[in-house]
Amino acid sequence: MTSYVFDFSHGDKDQKDLLGGKGANLAEMTRLGLPVPPGFTITTEACRHYLAQGSEPQDLRLQVTMALRRLEDQVGRRLGDSVDPLLVSVRSGAKFSMPGMMETVLNVGLNDYSVLGLIEASGDERFVWDSYRRLIQMFGKTVLGIEGEAFAAALDAAKQVKGARSDVDLDAADLKDLVGDFKEIVLKHTGRDFPQDPREQLDLATRSVFDSWNTDRARLYRRRERIAHDLGTAVNVCTMVFGNLGETSGTGVCFTRDPATGRPGVYGDYMTNAQGEDVVSGIRNTLSLDDFAALDPASYGELRQIMRRLETHYRDLCDIEFTVERGKLWMLQTRVGKRTAGAAFRIASALVDERLITLDEALERVTGTQLANLMFPQFDPGTARTALTRGMAASPGAAVGRVVFDSPTAVEWAARGEQVVLLRRETNPEDLEGMLASAGILTSRGGKTSHAAVVARGMGKTAVCGADELEVDSVAKYAQAGGVRVEEGDLLSIDGTTGEVFVGQVPVVPSPVVRYLEEGLDAAVEGADEGTADLVRAVDRILGHADAVRRLGVRANADTADDAARARRMGAQGIGLCRTEHMFLGDRRVLIERVILAATPAERASALEALLPMQRADFTDLLETMDGLPVTIRLLDPPLHEFLPDRADLMVEVARAEERGEPDERAIRMLAAVNRLHESNPMLGLRGVRLGLTVPGLFSLQVRAIAEAVAARIAAGGHPHAEIMIPLVGSVMELHLIRDETDGVVAQVGADAGLDLTIPVGTMIELPRAALTAYRIAEAAEFFSFGTNDLTQTTWGFSRDDVEAAFFAAYLEKGVFTVSPFESLDVDGVGRLVRIAAQEGRAARPDLKLGVCGEHGGDPESIHFFHRTGLDYVSCSPFRVPVARLEAARATLTSGVDAASA
């Protein structure tokens, strides 16, 4: 027989799958002998059965009966008894915390008889009627689906009759009357009486917790947080204890360290004569733990002991809820506490010092995303600031600017040099230009997967989304929250890492972690406050260990010597992608234009010749900066017309000149050339290796420049390690043909320089066909570098520019994606191609080097996948290099390696 019910005394913290997080931790505390009110957990398995079949498992009823009997025997009270009755709480508790998403019913077991028993036992009539009133209200809303409005109205009416200003002004008699009113409401709305049978109350409450797993709200939350929909929730049935039985009672929350900064010490709040919901509702001010110590030294002492015990046991920051009932301390909940990014590093490092965890475990306690957040500029923590509101931390960073309420204004103000923050209810594709022009984006609707959030992350813009307290009037151009009104042009500061929004200009300070990465530990620690110094030391220690542990190499994508130098400081072990097209922009655009517009082969050859010394100098600088490390240089990739003026603009120019009767010959000639190169889908056009095979001399020029740069560096005593990468290969024949050409050029340059030059040649794997025929392509490639951006575009058949803004938000909302496939690699589709290419390429050429140079190279989840797939390195933007170092190390601890990749 399957066990669907576990007493708290049978279970432990590792059973979160079955008992949910709350249940597993209650069991653990019980096992440790801590004062947990007795109770039992109904498993997630029962919930899943209920959700799938529409009814509870057959055995459940009996198992609950038995558990209840054991509970009653243990506490010596009976549910619904007219003498000192047992009351229980019924709480949801899924594997992953979903705060506020699911249901809770307290005081189950009260009915018209047991109230009397409870009054006698507690000696507090008002408390008991209030408890009964709360049960009916909560049960009515949650279990019976009655609009909360009805109960609120009755409560208001009662207060009005009494002339009471607050609930506390109602006495026992008033509350008893109110219980009557509430029962009327139940009868009226459901056609039947409020259930008096305590067991019926319990069963219905349990079922309503099950049901609450599938509310729209809960589903939406899980989508946002990437929690699977098929886990289900457990239900915890726990003996009620009361913090609201007078001044010797109370309730509190506490942390074993500061979750905001990671500083050692205990932190928490306490409220006398209150229940948990009172603390949350913020009616009264809370006391500090020191106050609590003064008030009830015995309970406080016991609590401190338990806190130490729990932290040592969990070997991590614990977040604890407790209640004192008439001087007796009860533990209601504990869990490993959430913390800020900075706290995560400091705590992990401190726990190593305290010998509670190993360095490997410290690595598991921090994430690349946390490190990335620490690397954004931050609002100066030392400055006073005025909070306006808060929303979801949708895209990290700190942005300050003048508020605008529409995109045209954003574009206009930005054009005249203003920093702007675009504030909208929500954004849509027509806001793209405005978003691009803004320093930050703030919306009052939508969450982390809303259009604004998706697009902002894609653009790397700071964004706070779904700040739902904000009322936004984009016609009248103002917004307000909590009585504060913001007009167009007012300064706002938004923190995309925390979701906070401030009025006025909060000063932004550079990240101390970046300073450490750029300048080293000593420079970063010198003059820093203790917290900052502690943080930087923690990062240094953990990153150092990461470098020792990881198997994946980490390179950077960098096009210039400056970028490369920064990447090297950030810890890059080479350049995985140097895009040469960036070397043809600016002043040099006119040179590549000459190549494109050349009328004869001779003209083209001479135009190419003019480019040679510049390219050579570019590569020489780059190789010098990265001396001793590999530098992968990609030959020209984009279609040629990208270097020419926009076709539609030219057409307009020509037409305008013509209308004016002054035909513009230069524009007409240019238009003819542009028309010749025009493509309706440039991404799928004449670019990459196709260009190399159809524009004679182009790739040879670049290869010559690379080879000559290598020769020059060797002559200068350097250790250059250039690698030549061919883009957009779909067939091994393309690579053979290009190599026929380029290998000859390298040999020639080597011969001229009297050197035996060998420059490895490899290819991007960025087309599905390249992946599918990798076993052939490996014949002609010394390395593969996965271009996962293009591979994502071709595998899905969408172009990032065209569709991300147009429908990604909708796709995320509808659950087609859980995350944009451009942010995190689509393992099932694109990842399958990567795996095929890696395995079959290696089978054909065992020493094939495998890397990735798409943006996914800096994404934590994707890095774990690349580790599993057996790649040799990832390459990402210089700023993501530390993140990649960290996650590559974490992958060795948490991810296996695919059998075939081992």
Give the residue numbers marked as catalytic.
Answer: 451, 853
**Residue closer to its own copies, measured from CB, 160 or 680:** 680
Smallest distance, its own copies to C-beta of residue 653, A: 8
Q: Where does this chain touch its own copies (CB under 8 A) — which range of 276-284, 361-369, 620-628, 676-684?
A: 676-684
Number of residues lying near its own copies (CB under 8 A): 60
Nearest distance, CB of residue 891 and its own copies, angstroms: 23
Half-sphere exposure of 810 (CA within 13 A, CB side): 7
Using an 8 Å Cβ cutoff, are 439 and 462 in contact?
Answer: yes
Query: Is residue 802 involved in binding its own copies (CB under 8 A)?
Result: yes
- Contact residues for 476 (Cβ-Cβ < 8 A; gap 6+): none
Dihedral, CA of residue 385, residue 389, residue 392 and residue 395, to nearest 10: -40
Q: Round to whole Å and give the CA distance between 886 and 880.
A: 10
Cβ neighbors of 182 (< 8 A, separation 6 or more) are: 133, 136, 137, 140, 151, 154, 194
Residues 6+ positions from 180 with CB-CB distance below 8 Å: none
| Binding of its own copies by 69 (CB under 8 A) | no
- Nearest distance from residue 748's CB to its own copies, in Å? 22
Q: How far is the CB of 887 from its own copies (least distance, A)?
A: 25
Alpha helices, H only, 626-686: 647-659, 665-677
Binding residue for its own copies (CB under 8 A) from 521, 753, 755, 806?
Answer: 806
Could you tell me which stretch among 301-309, 332-340, 355-363, 689-697 binds its own copies (CB under 8 A)?
689-697
CA 299 vs CA 242, 296, 304, 628, 837: distances in Å = 15, 6, 9, 63, 63
Q: Which of 826, 855, 861, 887 binds its own copies (CB under 8 A)?
A: 826
- Binding of its own copies at residue 816 (CB under 8 A)? yes
Q: Which of 264, 301, 429, 544 binds its own copies (CB under 8 A)?
A: 429
Stretch that binds its own copies, among 207-215, 462-470, 490-498, 824-832 (CB under 8 A): 824-832
Distance CA 237, CA 239 (A): 7
Binding mask 830-849 for its own copies (x = CB under 8 A): x-xx----------------
> Do the annotations mark residue 687 as ligand-binding?
no
**Candidate segments 69-77, 570-578, 686-694, 707-715, binder of its own copies by CB under 8 A:** 686-694
Piece in contact with its own copies (CB under 8 A), picked from 626-634, 647-655, 844-852, 859-867: 647-655
- Closest CB to its own copies among residues 30, 794: 794
Burial bucket for residue 7 (CB in 10 Å: 0-12, 13-18, 19+): middle
Identify residues 154-173 at the interface with its own copies (CB under 8 A).
none
Nearest CA-CA partner of 565 in 525, 604, 598, 518: 518
Region binding its own copies by CB under 8 A among candidate stretches 160-168, 513-521, 522-530, 821-829: 821-829
Indicate the residue among 666 and 832 with the shorter CB distance to its own copies.
Answer: 832
Q: Minimal distance in Å, beta carbon 773 to its own copies?
A: 5
Provide DSSP, 870-890: T-SEEEE-GGGHHHHHHHHHH
CB count in 10 Å sphere of residue 808: 25
User: Strand, coil or helix: what is 585?
Assistant: coil
Single out the residue of 659, 665, 756, 847 in contact with its own copies (rule: CB under 8 A): 659
| Candidate segments 112-120, 161-169, 554-562, 811-819, binder of its own copies by CB under 8 A | 811-819
> Does the annotation list 790 as a binding residue?
yes
In 3D space, the residue among 883, 844, 892 whose CA is nearest the CA of residue 864 turns out to be 892
Of residues 628 and 696, the one with the C-beta less far from its own copies: 696
Binding residues among 753-772 for its own copies as defined by CB under 8 A: 766-769, 772
**Shortest CB 415 distance to its own copies, Å:** 18
- 185 versus 677: smaller Cβ distance to its own copies: 677
Q: Of 552, 520, 653, whose CA–CA distance to 886 is shortest?
A: 552
User: From CA 586, how far away is CA 755, in angstroms rounded?
Assistant: 34
Select the residue interacting with its own copies from 168, 283, 652, 716 (CB under 8 A).
Answer: 652
Site for its own copies contains 604 (CB under 8 A): no
Residue 126 or 647 with smaller CB distance to its own copies: 647
Q: Which helix (H) or strand (E) holds 41?
A: strand 39-42
Question: Given the DSSP bridges, would you call strands 39-42 and 484-487 parallel, antiparallel or unpaired?
Answer: unpaired
Q: Name which of 186 and 833 has its Cβ closer to its own copies.
A: 833
Count of other CB atoms within 10 angstroms of residue 181: 17
CB of 400 to its own copies, least distance (A): 31
- Nearest CA among 77, 81, 71 for reference residue 41: 71
**Residue 788 is assigned to a ligand binding site:** yes
Residue 579, annotated as binding a ligand: yes
Q: Is 151 left (phi over 0), alpha (psi -120 to 50) or beta?
A: alpha
Q: Which residue number, 356 or 806, has a Cβ lying nearer to its own copies?
A: 806
Binds its own copies by CB under 8 A, chosen from 44, 793, 869, 892 = 793
Radius of gyration (Cα) for the chain, nearest Å? 33
370: contact with its own copies by CB under 8 A: no
CB atoms within 10 A of CB 520: 12
Q: What is the DSSP letter of 636?
A: P
Burial-class residue 750 by CB neighbours within 10 Å (0-12, 13-18, 19+).
middle
Rounded to 10 deg, the angle between the 601-625 and 561-569 helix axes is 30
Please count the other Cβ atoms lying within 10 Å of the Cβ belonging to residue 828. 8
Q: What is the torsion angle, in degrees rounded to the nearest 10, for the CA atoms of residue 166, residue 171, residue 172 and residue 178?
A: -50
Q: Which of 220, 803, 844, 897 binds its own copies (CB under 8 A)?
A: 803
555 marked among binding-site residues: no
Residue 216 engages its own copies in binding (rule: CB under 8 A)? no
Q: Could you say whether residue 214 binds its own copies (CB under 8 A)?
A: no
Q: What is the DSSP letter of 79?
A: B
Q: Is residue 788 part of the contact set for its own copies (CB under 8 A)?
A: no
Residue 633 pairs in a beta bridge with 578, 724
Q: Does 693 bind its own copies (CB under 8 A)?
A: yes
Integer Cα distance of 34 and 304 in angstroms: 12
Should residue 656 be labelled a site residue for its own copies when binding is judged by CB under 8 A? yes
**From the annotation, which residues make up the binding site for substrate?**
579, 634, 766, 787-790
Residue ranges at the known binding site: 579, 634, 766, 787-790
| Residues forming the site for its own copies (CB under 8 A) | 429-430, 647-648, 651-652, 655-656, 659-660, 676, 679-686, 690, 693-694, 728, 730-731, 733-734, 737, 766-769, 772-773, 776, 790, 793-799, 801-803, 806-807, 810-811, 814-817, 826, 828-830, 832-833
| Binding-site annotation: residue ranges for Mg(2+) | 766, 790
